[in-house]
Chains A and B, each alone.
Chain A
Amino acid sequence: MTPPPSFRRFLELLHEFYESRHRSSLAREMREEDDLFMLLVFSEMMGVPNPASYYTLELLPILYERFHEWHLRMGMERSPLDHFRCC
């Protein structure tokens, strides 16, 4: 049994009501966690030994775009890492 469209719309709005109020603080918290994760992945390049670096290497291309955004957000115009240039 599928609910009528008006009811589904109501559920959507209810969900939005739940989420909209704290959307920005949640996004900010998410970003902080992501930053920590990025730090772990890039740790080898910053001279912090990382036993899992063999596996995190794969993640570099995925984090590439976010890395650029990250160093801009941190007030660094260019990439701070010697071997990792993005702009």
Chain B
Amino acid sequence: MSGIVLAALGLGGFALGYVFYSRYIGDRVFQLDPDFETPAHAQEDGVDFVPTNRWVLWGHHFTSVAGAAPIVGPAIGVIWGWVPAFLWVTLGTVFFAGVHDAGALWASVRNRGESIGALTESVVGKRARNLFMIVIFLLLLMVNAVFAIIIAQLFVDVRSSVIPAWFVIAVALAIGWLLYRRGVPLLWPSLIALVLLYGSMFVGAMYPVSLPEQVLGLQEPAQWVLILFAYAALASLLPVWVLLQPRDYINGIQLFVGLAIFFGAVLLANPTVVAPAFNTGLPDDVPPLIPLLFVTIACGAISGFHGLVSSGTTSKQLNSEADVRFVGYLGSVGEGALALAAILACTAGFATLTEWEAFYSTFAAGGIPAFVQGGGAIISEGLRLPVHFAETLLAVMAVLFAATTMDTGVRLQRYIVQEWGVIYDLPVLTGRGISTLVAVGTCIALAFGAGGGAGTGGLVIWPLFGTTNQLLAGLTLLILSVILMKLGRGTVYTLVPMVFLLFMTFFALLVQLADFWRQGQYFLLGLDLLILGAAIWVGLEAVATLRRTWAERKEGKVAVGAE
């Protein structure tokens, strides 16, 4: 199988999905109305509600949702062969993620720009709102822990990435300062920043950095995890404009540059997919494809996190309701393209099948290192760049995605802890310092509990992260289904994905429960049980709400077509 053909099939599938399926959904199901006054106009305040150009909004939405997760998931998921991962990413993006993202955006726009959390309360009930908060907290906890482990692993595997990954912080600080303190226009700092970033990769390749083998009994990855959380704690306390904003910006630009470089290299090199279509010689520890594939690859096929972004900030800036397709659906297509790139890197970036099998020797062994090495090989062949530089480029890309997500994640967790301090009348928790410590402390505990600190655990926790993400997506799809049912429109486009997702998530949690029990990993077992409880709760809530809405509709209590 040629890499170009695979890329063309995937991107072509996305294009067809956008042109035909999203139009069908937009016209028939959501019935998008270009004349509808969106919250950005109706409640314009120059702060949250601001009508924004659709290209800008798309870029903002896409870069907010795309991170390290659509790379890690597919990079692990191709262990079952390239066909299952490829089909799930393309079909999932077209029929699941696009509808979910655009739907969350539409529902929010039609409800004064409320977030999905607030919509859960008004559409389903207060109890479901609490459930929603629990799932989000679990998700944030895991995001931070998992991404710290990933970065630590990358720093150890690709030592040349250490210098550029930290250097970019200095670049970001400089951009923020130039823009806000000096009023310099954005163009030159952006170009110089990119040149400096890619230049620093050469420097990094010349001076690989390694930490001492052991400090206080902690191995290298564990030391990195601690350093990263110390950094994240500090960064989350800085004003947004100082670091987070320019960092997000550099990341966004870098994402577009990275995707262009990668697909350009695929086009020039036309690598051959050496991985098997269906892997028949699976290593012993690999769990069954059904259901684990559907939680291993979450972002890139469908991810509940997108609903938070769609309904949180994007919906308040949507200029016209007709843009829901462009921003929401195409935003998820962008992430699908990133996942597709990861699949290509991890299946076509190896010279022979034996080399590929050596990499995928255990379930969680592939992951990001496979993406870096495979993708590096493709880029270096396509663009005639030194292999080492190409690998550094991809490693830094993944590190930056993960690190920015950590910055935001720790900040959000701090807000939640502070809110608890207010709700439960614990003034200790409301301070910035203590709440940050609590947030970071729980994440570190999870990172070490999940075996990331030892440097041997790999990413055993990854599928658990996927299940939480899918639960959130299931909740959002439930809300969409209820809204659509009340309006008397077709619910099959949201209900089928919801049932499928909840079933696979539940099934996967059970399979993993048995695995953790057998392996004696009681920490993860407890976590699994916690998520399982939330999953059962979501399922019950879904059945009860849908039955209630259905009965109301039959009695004619809900006016058909009413908003």
Contact = CB atoms under 8 A, between A and B. Distances in A.
Most chain B CB neighbours (cut-off 10 Å) among A15, A17, A29? A17
A22 B240 contact: yes
B220 to A, nearest CB: 34
A2 interface: no
Contacts of A15: 185-186
A21 B245 contact: yes
Interface string B28-67: 0000000000000000001110101101110110011000
Interface string B63-74: 110000000000
Contacts, number: 58
Given A25-B240, A26-B240, A20 B48 contact: no
A8 to B, nearest CB: 11
Contact of A13 (B55, B245, B313): B55
Contacts of A29: 239-241
A14 B256 CA distance: 13
A13 B59 CA distance: 10
B111 interface: no
A17 B187 CA distance: 12
Instruction: Please tell me the size bucket of the interface on B.
Output: 20 to 34
A16 interface: yes
B361 interface: no
Instruction: Please tell me the size bucket of the interface on A.
Output: 10 to 19
B52 A24 contact: no
A48 interface: no
Contact of B47 (A13, A14, A27): A27
Nearest to B186: A15
B313 A17 contact: no
18 contacts: A11-B186, A11-B187, A13-B53, A14-B187, A17-B59, A17-B249, A17-B252, A18-B179, A18-B245, A20-B50, A20-B317, A21-B63, A21-B64, A21-B248, A22-B240, A22-B244, A22-B245, A23-B47
Interface of B: 46-48, 50, 52-53, 55-57, 59-60, 63-64, 179, 185-187, 190, 239-241, 244-246, 248-249, 252, 313, 317
Given A20-B57, A21-B249, A23-B50, 16 more contacts: A11-B187, A13-B55, A15-B186, A17-B56, A17-B249, A18-B179, A20-B50, A20-B56, A20-B317, A21-B60, A21-B63, A21-B64, A26-B241, A26-B245, A29-B240, A29-B241
